[in-house]
Structure 1
Amino acid sequence: MPARAPVPDVSPATAAPTVDGGDPLARERAHLAASRAALRAMRKDVESLDIKDVTANWVNAAVLRSQIEDRIKALADLAHTPLFFGRLDYLHTAQEGQRFYIGRRHVHDAGGDPMVVDWRAPVSQPFYRASRKDPKDVGLRRRFGYTGGELTAYEDEHLTDPSEAEQTSRLLQAEIERPRVGPMRDIVATIQPEQDEIVRSGLSGTVCVQGGPGTGKTAVGLHRVAYLLYAHRERLARTGTLVIGPNRSFLHYIEQVLPALGELEVRQSTVDDLVAHVEVRGTDTPTAAVVKGDARMAEVLRRAVRSHVTLPTEPLMVVRGSRRWRIPAYELEEIVRELLDRDVRYGSARDALPQRIAHTVLVRMEQAGEAPDDRVQDAVARNAAVKAAVKAIWPPVDPAKLVLRLLSDAEFLAAHAEGVLTPEEQDTVRWDRPARSVKSAKWSAADAVLIDEATDLVQRTHSLGHVVLDEAQDLSPMQYRAVGRRCSTGSATVLGDLAQGTTPWATSSWAEALSHLGKADAAVEELTAGFRVPREVIAYASRLLPHMSPGLAPVSSVRENPGSLSVRPVTGDLDAAVVAACVESLGREGSIGLIAADARVPALAAALASAGLPHLSPGEETTAASRLTLVPASLAKGLEYDYVVLDEPAAVVTAEPDERTGLRRLYVALTRAVSGLTILHAQPLPPQLT
């Protein structure tokens, strides 16, 4: 049996012989204290660096000082975050007889010898992958338990001992089930083998992770970023990384994960933030949003942009000194058609046109016996007549004005949407009241994506080294294209669950989504083992799957928590019953989420206030003193609470434009609980649940 020291939140077990003599727990505590002292010394060494005579100028000095400040922040000792959570004792190979402590960051002593090894290092990998079938040369794997930052327990697995039976780690289970107060935590101590394979997959390939509620897909994506920054730091420092979430509440919930792992420079954004070329003040009908988000709009925009090019009909006369050089219209047309056939960005082709014209003039000069050089070509390209010709042939295009005209001018839209959009679809996307200017227009979120597409047609969008896209199932094809532009020369980690797609344009398959993203060759991995949502709760929610996502495998939860589900019909005052359920949940440890259809939120907020129960809004950080959050169902995706009180499931379903979307919204709401779910309903439950 694995050896354990007693710990308040883990049942004590009979101790088996360990590899340590004396008191093993005291030894480990001493190593923790020494490691913390070594980390403080590392930080002090960085703080004491003198760079006065190191840099050549003030710019270099400022850059170096910024790097030093970042390093100091990364070396902070977080009192309530365990410095290490595991230990590996190797048997043979290059690490024969060596012992490695696995933690969130690397710590070394004054002589440079490691006291804690970063969880991302190759030598740490067996902590997540080793098993009795494949021990990977590890004799002992030890896990540590902490209470309030203090090391209080250990648990050993002798991987090469045939007499020791395989069993679930209770420390691991306790860490997974630890109450959730505050923002999302990292999972470095609990990463499972199938998750670790995704985390450590290479930078060159794009990975798509299909995972149901509680499978840890978001955490896997964030830890993959941390791993890639460790393994390819210099490259990603040049090209950049980005995490994209569905809304700012979600980003606020996950924002502490990467800093806790020592990664401070990863930018976070929503898709709306990425395409914020104009102020969004309007909304679309679902039908209009679906058409605007359709990939066919890319072709409409491409045609509209290229329509600004006018084939020349007059020759061009270039005067240089006493000589005149004539370029006939047919030669100019050949130059223009060649640029169009190459299908390069509109702006790049416009920049190339004067140089192409100038080169044609230089050929004539050489034929006349002159010997012009590159300076002459540049001068000809800047010639007033050439500039005028370029402006007439290939005028500049303002992307926002282009989209404004498409949405306002029926004839312009019809000319470029012919054979692409039906007349009915054209009527759907066209504004009833055309705007006079870009600033006065009431742009919608879908319009902003169209402007982003047009902007890229004019000038290439900067590509990052790696992008993580979470809750990806809810993106439209045009939104996928917008994200794909940000990683066109890099890679991506795509995270989502097809069963949780709640937008009218939600994707029906990952193959389709990845094609729009520009990553059709991405590997699709599926996580089906749930670690957070109790088995009783996920089984109840999975009743909806055949009705909304046929063929999708249900999550198989590893957590057994009898009594975690309570379904209560209410015959009296529903608001009062909901408040009472919240009071009941507040009597337990952990965070509480009250989830309701958006239209029910004001009434429930008033009921909570009348009862003297303060509550938070999604995105606000829960604390020990403030643990109740009132969550509109439309914002629940990606969030987790220890206990969830779900108000009126039927109202959640009927709030959506169609039943399938409503069932998916309900599925999301049902699976936000990680310890217990209480459902209260005055109306009959949706028949799919009964």
Structure 2
Amino acid sequence: MSLPAAPETTAPDPVLAAERAHLRRAADCLAQMRVAASAVTDAGVDSWASERLGAARAERLAALAADPGVPPFFGRTDALPVDGAGETFHIGRRHVRDAAGDPVVIDWRAPMSRPFYQANAADPQGVARRRRFGFSGGELTGYEDELLAEPGSGHPGELLRAEIERPRSGPMRDIVATIQPDQDDIVRAPLADSICVQGAPGTGKTAVGLHRAAYLLYTHGGQLARTGVLVVGPNRAFLRYIEQVLPTLGEADVAQTTVAELTARVPVRAEDRPDVATLKGDARLAEVLRRALWGEIAKPVDDVLLPLAGRRYRVPVERLKRAVDDLRRRGRGTDDQQLLHYAAGRERLAMLLATDARRQKEEAGGSPSDGEVRRAARSPEVREFCDRVWPARDAAGLLLRLWTEPDRLARAARGILDDAEQALLRWPVPPRSVRTAPWTAADAVLADELAGLLERTPGHGHVVVDEAQDLSPMQCRAIARRLGAGSLTVLGDLAQGTSPWSPDDWARTLADLGRPDAGITPLTRGYRVPAEVLDFANRLLPVIAPGLTPATAVRSEPDALSLRPVPAFGGPLLEVVGALAAVAGSIGIVCADAAVAGVAGLLTGAGVDAAELTDDGTGAAAVAVVPATLAKGLEFDAVVVVDPAAIVAAEPRGLHRLYVVLTRAVSTLVVLHRDDLPAPLRGEAGQLV
């Protein structure tokens, strides 16, 4: 195995010199590709063609955009020789070709790149040599070879380990240079497959999900260009953390959002009590809402006279009743019959009346045109009938009536919710209007459910859902509506479930997401969290998730964990932050939400560049003060946990929250505690581990 290149004071390394030359060539070719894309001119065929050409050119330029800190390639494979010659492929984040169209760098997603991630000595997959490169500031500084055809070789070396362990400061980076075989299997799974990744902390599940999105867009670009890919995260802070991963992979147009943004049907200006929020997230509310909407439909009681082509035709009440009953049955849907949305049913009813009149006219020898039939369907007589029997509704207005009219709620909830549950949902003081109503985040999800019953929600070709273990059944249904006929990648960790709906297994969540048959793939090798930190946090697993296999770390850092009992937090916290600032990249101070303002004030008052991290991702500073409820999915080089007992006491699933908090550190975890640590984290006779 070749070691990283020696300092320049020694004899020049011809391999390193050749690779640097290829790096310069790849950079020049990529620049030429950008120039060629910019030079595409508009032939002036028509405005639509000009618009499409402009959009395609912008998309191409975005995919080729230069990133000064990202070299054109990060690896190379040398094929086993055939007739004395073997091909060489440089692997990078995007395809680079020369002026003649010959490949200079192969996109990491291309089939011929897969052996770079999967080959090993037992199964070299046609690869004789795998080469990894070391870079500093965009400059190629070293290389490392694995000779897969030689016995005893083929083991990852120092460059791979250094890249995996590299301290992380700022947003999440891509992991294309370090994807491991178990991760690669998930990334390259077929588009038709829906997958649930049960990933322990530090296993890279979020990065794997994002790289799967990039892989699918590369492999199925034509199909997904029409339907799109959607990434759903738990909050805006999380999305800010991951927002640069896909653009660095050349995919700049992927929608990244939260459930709150997806379901923003009403202005959220209030917050539910925990018991009310839990009830509103219950899957039973879906049937209550369905009944409330379709219960608006009345039975026809009279014939209808409607005009058609200068005459009036009577549609008997019995035929009207049959039409309404047939359409109402369609509102439930069956295995062989597509679900009918409420608004479409109203339009269908109007057309059925006009079609009945048309049939009568044709039986009398007439021949009305399609236009005359459509005008009859829009006539005041038909409109008045539909308003009376099948009234138009909007989601927010109907939900307002449901929460403020006890009789209406009682009819919709009969046999589903008991009296006490109905009382939790009712608003004691009716608001003046929909706009001034005290809507909550849970109400917004319910309004979205109603909107999905009223009209079809557009779907995506693939949806990636992160931190899915915390979703309520109603939130899952909101995501499922955006899925349509597409596939799903679910990312999460049952041990990190902190919401009232967090399950003990994935079956219910996958069913609520509309993909009950999705395969569950575990990731249990921790690449980012040191063994000392992970083993300490794993002591909570027998209590919070007894059925899960504990994750194992691939690296050990003897000084990674420090437990410090303190009588007060102020002085020790400043001392620890001062020491970490000299050696750590990013620093996160994690504490109970109620303590965030006090901790931030203490730090800033002592002259530390610190700021509170907020839900929208703002609060950038050298030291981030992180509410425990926002820590999930984030990662810092060094983490200081302040008062773990307060974190546990702040919520019913406090031990789950503490498990999340303890596993955010890449290099160093310091725990400052005044009270006893939770029992699972203590050794025998209450001694600290």
Letter in 2 for 1:193: P
- Distance change >3 Å, CA 7–CA 617, structure 1 → 2: farther
Shift of 1:166: 4.6
- The separation in 2 between residues aligned to 1:93 and 1:514, in whole angstroms, is 48
Q: Does 1:150 find its partner at 2:155?
A: no
Shift of 1:686: 1.2
Deviations 1:21-65 (A, max 9, x none): 9611111111101111111111112222222xx132234323322
- The separation in 2 between residues aligned to 1:602 and 1:383, in whole angstroms, is 62
The answer to whether the Cα contact below 8 Å between 1:640 and 1:674 also exists between their aligned partners in 2 is yes
Q: Does 1:127 find its partner at 2:122?
A: no
- Specify the alignment match of 2:526 in structure 1: 530
Letter in 1 for 2:87: Q
Deviations 1:350-379 (A, max 9, x none): 011111111111222222222334233223
Letter in 1 for 2:41: D
Deviations 1:214-235 (A, max 9, x none): 0000000000010011001111
**Counterpart mapping for 1:238-317 below 5 A:** 238-317=226-305
The answer to whether the Cα contact below 8 Å between 2:308 and 2:357 also exists between their aligned partners in 1 is no
- The separation in 2 between residues aligned to 1:189 and 1:320, in whole angstroms, is 70
Q: Does 1:596 find its partner at 2:584?
A: no
- Specify the alignment match of 1:18 in structure 2: none
- Specify the alignment match of 2:334 in structure 1: none
Secondary structure class of the residue paired with 1:441: coil
Match of 2:188 among 197, 200, 203: 200
Q: Does 1:99 find its partner at 2:88?
A: yes
**Counterpart mapping for 1:35-114 below 5 A:** 35-51=26-42, 54-91=43-80, 97-114=86-103
Secondary structure class of the residue paired with 1:67: helix
- 368-377 or 554-563, which moves further after superposition? 368-377
- Specify the alignment match of 2:337 in structure 1: none
- Specify the alignment match of 1:212 in structure 2: 200
**Counterpart mapping for 1:666-677 below 5 A:** 666-677=658-669
Secondary structure class of the residue paired with 2:610: coil
Between the aligned residues of both structures, percent identity stands at 49
Shift of 1:96: 6.2
- The separation in 1 between residues aligned to 2:46 and 2:345, in whole angstroms, is 39
- Specify the alignment match of 1:640 in structure 2: 635
Match of 1:662 among 654, 675, 678: 654
- Specify the alignment match of 2:569 in structure 1: 574
The answer to whether the Cα contact below 8 Å between 2:361 and 2:368 also exists between their aligned partners in 1 is yes
- The separation in 1 between residues aligned to 2:588 and 2:464, in whole angstroms, is 27
- Specify the alignment match of 2:23 in structure 1: 32
- The separation in 1 between residues aligned to 2:6 and 2:500, in whole angstroms, is 50
- The separation in 2 between residues aligned to 1:673 and 1:319, in whole angstroms, is 74
- Distance change >3 Å, CA 455–CA 123, structure 1 → 2: same
- The separation in 2 between residues aligned to 1:58 and 1:319, in whole angstroms, is 42
The answer to whether the Cα contact below 8 Å between 2:600 and 2:611 also exists between their aligned partners in 1 is no
The answer to whether the Cα contact below 8 Å between 2:5 and 2:16 also exists between their aligned partners in 1 is no
Secondary structure class of the residue paired with 2:483: coil
Secondary structure class of the residue paired with 2:680: coil
Secondary structure class of the residue paired with 2:589: strand
Letter in 2 for 1:109: D
The answer to whether the Cα contact below 8 Å between 1:569 and 1:681 also exists between their aligned partners in 2 is yes
Shift of 1:505: 2.0
Deviations 1:153-179 (A, max 9, x none): 1111111112x3453321111001111
Match of 1:368 among 360, 364, 368: 364
- The separation in 2 between residues aligned to 1:533 and 1:154, in whole angstroms, is 25
TM-score normalized by the length of structure 2: 0.94
- Distance change >3 Å, CA 356–CA 92, structure 1 → 2: farther
Secondary structure class of the residue paired with 2:539: helix
- Specify the alignment match of 2:491 in structure 1: 495
The answer to whether the Cα contact below 8 Å between 1:183 and 1:621 also exists between their aligned partners in 2 is no
Shift of 1:621: 8.3
- Specify the alignment match of 1:340 in structure 2: 328
- The separation in 1 between residues aligned to 2:401 and 2:479, in whole angstroms, is 25
- The separation in 2 between residues aligned to 1:370 and 1:114, in whole angstroms, is 69
TM-score normalized by the length of structure 1: 0.94
- Distance change >3 Å, CA 95–CA 599, structure 1 → 2: farther
The answer to whether the Cα contact below 8 Å between 2:237 and 2:618 also exists between their aligned partners in 1 is no
Secondary structure class of the residue paired with 1:228: helix
Q: Does 1:420 find its partner at 2:416?
A: yes
Letter in 1 for 2:18: R
Shift of 1:383: 2.7
Match of 2:461 among 457, 461, 465: 465
Q: Does 1:139 find its partner at 2:138?
A: no
- The separation in 2 between residues aligned to 1:554 and 1:63, in whole angstroms, is 51
- The separation in 2 between residues aligned to 1:614 and 1:384, in whole angstroms, is 68
Alignment gaps of 5+ in structure 1: 16-20
- The separation in 2 between residues aligned to 1:67 and 1:617, in whole angstroms, is 41
**Counterpart mapping for 1:495-574 below 5 A:** 495-571=491-567, 573-574=568-569
- The separation in 2 between residues aligned to 1:525 and 1:389, in whole angstroms, is 54
Match of 2:476 among 468, 477, 480: 480
- The separation in 1 between residues aligned to 2:417 and 2:441, in whole angstroms, is 20
- 57-66 or 669-678, which moves further after superposition? 57-66
The answer to whether the Cα contact below 8 Å between 1:622 and 1:628 also exists between their aligned partners in 2 is no
**Counterpart mapping for 1:395-434 below 5 A:** 395-434=391-430
RMSD: 2.0
Deviations 1:269-303 (A, max 9, x none): 11000010111011111111111000100000000
Match of 2:674 among 656, 662, 682: 682
- The separation in 1 between residues aligned to 2:214 and 2:575, in whole angstroms, is 42
Shift of 1:636: 0.5
Secondary structure class of the residue paired with 2:612: coil
The answer to whether the Cα contact below 8 Å between 1:181 and 1:627 also exists between their aligned partners in 2 is no
Match of 1:353 among 331, 349, 355: 349
- 662-671 or 323-332, which moves further after superposition? 323-332
- Specify the alignment match of 1:377 in structure 2: 373
Match of 1:454 among 447, 450, 458: 450
Shift of 1:428: 1.4
- The separation in 2 between residues aligned to 1:5 and 1:74, in whole angstroms, is 31
Match of 2:157 among 159, 169, 188: 169
- The separation in 2 between residues aligned to 1:190 and 1:107, in whole angstroms, is 20
Shift of 1:616: 3.4
Shift of 1:92: 5.4
Deviations 1:58-99 (A, max 9, x none): 343233223213322322232211211110111257996110
The answer to whether the Cα contact below 8 Å between 2:198 and 2:522 also exists between their aligned partners in 1 is yes
- 475-484 or 407-416, which moves further after superposition? 407-416
- The separation in 2 between residues aligned to 1:610 and 1:393, in whole angstroms, is 67
- Distance change >3 Å, CA 670–CA 316, structure 1 → 2: same
- The separation in 2 between residues aligned to 1:331 and 1:471, in whole angstroms, is 51
- The separation in 1 between residues aligned to 2:623 and 2:356, in whole angstroms, is 73
- Distance change >3 Å, CA 122–CA 321, structure 1 → 2: closer
